[in-house]
Amino acid sequence: MKLGIVGNLNSDHIYRRVQLLQTIFKDMVVITRNRYVKKPGDNFEVIDLSQKKHGFLKTFRQYWWCYKYFRESKFNCIQAFYALDPIAWVANVAAKCPLILSTMGGDVFLEEQQKITRFTRANTLTSLKDAARVTTLSLYMTERLKQLGIKSKNILLDYWGIENFWFEKADTSHTVKKYDLKNSHPIIFSPRLMQPLYNIHVILEAVKELKQQLPQIKLILSQYGSCSTYKQVIMENITNWGLQDNIVFLPEDTAREKLPPVYQVSDITVMLPPSDGMPMSLLESIASQTPVIGSDIPHYQQDSQPKFMITTGIDSKSVAREIQMLIENKQEFEKLKKDGVNFVKKYYQTPNINPKIYDGLEKISLGKLRILYRMTLIFLFLIEPWFAKLLPTRDAA
């Protein structure tokens, strides 16, 4: 059985899924728009579209090349990670085999997480509705897909597990020494991307408010996937608020395998997106027995029994209050650690591939007119930059 994959292999989580798929499919081809260097153990072909130089019309020709490739390739099915990827849209139109779309959050919540144009939205929703199967990471994402008009029979819940090393006791001595954390308390960790969506500035302001009572407080910030303009705002706030001695920055290239000591040396993890899927950083923190304070969004409440985290409003006073409460309430602190680990072990302890994803797949026949309509949508998406001022974007909620 031959599997085609569309996705960013530089994403740790997608790469791990591809690694697991190697145990099922002996013949795989990964098509990626991101520059990628093959690693030992990669028993799959990689088509790196970033290497294809086509001059001024690079993007158009890149998509046309993909269209012809998908038409000519004899895949049994194609699995695309992230429905907002334009190559997934092209695969939907061109491929003669069933399409599986594995959603990851932003491609379900759309305007809640980013600014998108009408043609980005139209292409994404069309592909989701055409797909033979759509996988989700949580019950909340499943319900949102139904609200978007995706048929229930085509949606499959696919819990992504985490590796066992997250549950193991890590040696934190090097981390304590490297970042001078010996006399720090409490230590707060923000593992999400340094982008406006994750409200890092709110966490920073909460630390500012707590500093008077907790002068030894430390905030560890991830720099992975930083937005340069947003990072500049964060740096200015740190200087203006006199927090230089209270902030630790992780190197941008910190590998996931290096993060367990960071989680375990931290007292609390804070993450504040206004909407979310089931982020791996949340599961990794809980598995590391580091309690989480997160946004008060329906997903975290609907998918969790028992309670495995503290939810809060996305404002500095609420976040500061919850941090203070957890630090002072040792009983609640220990209960969260215990219940959280039990929750992750029950649903997410081992990375696995749900075999039902690939059972009974049937290609949905689109017909010539529907294919032409979808190709037109992709073309309009391509030329959008040239008349973007005439087409307003949908603002993030």
| pLDDT tens string 272-296 | 998 887 788 888 999 999 999 998 8
Predicted pLDDT at 379 = 86
C-alpha span between 200 and 222 (Å, rounded): 10
**For the chain, how long is the longest CA-to-CA vector?**
68
* Residue 97 token pair: 């085999």
With 0-12 CB in 10 A as exposed, 13-18 as middle and 19+ as buried, what is 53?
A: exposed
* Look-up of token digits 């909460």: 206
Global confidence as pTM: 0.82
* Fold entry, domain 2-160+353-390: Rossmann fold (3.40.50)
Query: Among candidates 202, 210, 186, 187, which has minimal Cα distance to 320?
Result: 210
The predicted pLDDT at position 245 comes to 94
User: What is the reported pLDDT for 305?
Assistant: 54
Provide the sign of the torsion angle of the four alpha carbons 202, 206, 211, 214, taken in this order: negative
Task: List the pLDDT tens digit at each of the 397 positions of the chain.
Answer: 899 999 999 888 898 899 889 988 989 999 998 888 888 888 999 998 886 655 446 788 888 899 999 999 999 999 999 999 999 999 999 988 999 999 988 888 877 777 888 889 999 999 999 999 999 988 888 888 999 999 999 999 888 888 878 888 989 999 999 999 988 899 999 999 899 999 999 999 999 999 999 999 999 999 988 889 999 999 999 999 999 999 999 998 887 788 999 999 999 999 999 888 778 888 899 999 999 999 887 655 555 555 778 888 999 999 999 999 999 999 989 998 988 888 888 878 777 788 889 888 877 677 788 888 888 888 888 877 666 555 555 443 3
- Cα–Cα distance measured from residue 66 to residue 62, given in angstroms and rounded to the nearest whole number: 6
Enumerate the CATH 3.40.50.2000 domain ranges in the chain, comma separated: 2-160+353-390, 164-348
Region of residue 97 (left: phi > 0; alpha: psi -120 to 50; beta: else): beta
CATH number for the segment(s) 164-348: 3.40.50.2000
Q: For position 173, what pLDDT does the model report?
A: 93
What's the N-to-C CA distance of the chain in angstroms? 42
Q: Which amino acid is at 12?
A: D
pLDDT digits (tens, 9 = 90+) for 9-40: 988 889 889 988 998 898 999 999 888 888 88
* Secondary structure string (H, E, C) spanning the chain: CEEEEECCCCCHHHHHHHHHHCCCCCEEEEEECCCCCCCCCCCCEEEEHHHCCCHHHHHHHHHHHHHHHHHHCCCCEEEEECCCCHHHHHHHHHCCCCEEEECCCHHHHHHHCCCECHHHHHHHHHHHHHCCEEEECCHHHHHHHHHCCCCHHHEEECCCCCCHHHHCCCCCHHHHHHCCCCCCCCEEEECCCCCHHHCHHHHHHHHHHHCCCCCCCEEEECCCCCCHHHHHHHHHHHHHCCCHHHEEECCCCCCHHHCHHHHHHCCEEEECCCCCCCCHHHHHHHHCCCCEEEECCHHHHHCCCCCCCEEECCCHHHHHHHHHHHHHCHHHHHHHHHHHHHHHHHHHCCCCCCHHHHCCCCCCCCCHHHHHHHHHHHHHHHHHHHHHHHCCCECCC
Which tokens is 15 given? 């790469």
